[in-house]
Amino acid sequence: MTIYDYPGCPFGRKVRIVLAEKELSFDSVNVDLAKGQQRSEEFRRLNPFGKVPVLVDESSVVYESTIINEYLNDEYPHPPELLPEDSGERARVRLLVDFADRAFTLPVMALERETKAAEKDETRVQAAKDAVAKALQMLERELAGREYLAESFSLADVAFAPALLMLPNVGVTIDPSLANVAAWKARLLARPSIGRVAKSAA
């Protein structure tokens, strides 16, 4: 099994968390986005969209982090199962994963880009911070009375974790009023799979 990704990519980290949860060994290939290696003919044979991460598992080639993680959960269900048995709850987890990808991770990545830019675009910074704040408020509501976003640790928690760990680096602090989010973050960091990613994100 081989994962093609780029250091610092939250979507790659998302897949690495599941690989660690499943206790799967794998090889890693660094695709240097700064050098445009994702646009090479060789890489586009793996993913025609030229994006990381990509997983190659024997004859299966899977791209897009959400689809990779569902594949890993289907192909290697134990340990542990990362989707609920109930179809309604499974749909809820998938909706949360989609929300994480679109409405949380992307704004955090936008903040990271602005942090590194020679000149910040304050309008973009504020828009991204507003989006992150709204996402954190949503998480506070979803986590009410729960240890994790589903009945147990799931692909939904995995989807939010990489960007959540990036917040200190992009100038976002979790408001003290978001007690559910703060407690959830502590539980996530206690998991070896996420603790490992946290070290690489520091």
Report the distance separating Cα 190 and Cα 179, nearest Å: 17
Report the distance separating Cα 94 and Cα 66, nearest Å: 9
Catalytic residue (one of 3, 9, 18, 156): 9
Cβ neighbours for 7, distance < 8 A, ≥ 6 positions apart = 30, 200
Closest to 17 in 3D by CA, of 169, 139, 159, 185: 159
Give 5's strand partners.
30
Give 30's strand partners.
5
Q: Is 9 a catalytic residue?
A: yes
Report whether 55 contacts 141 (CB < 8 A): no
Q: Which residues are catalytic?
A: 9
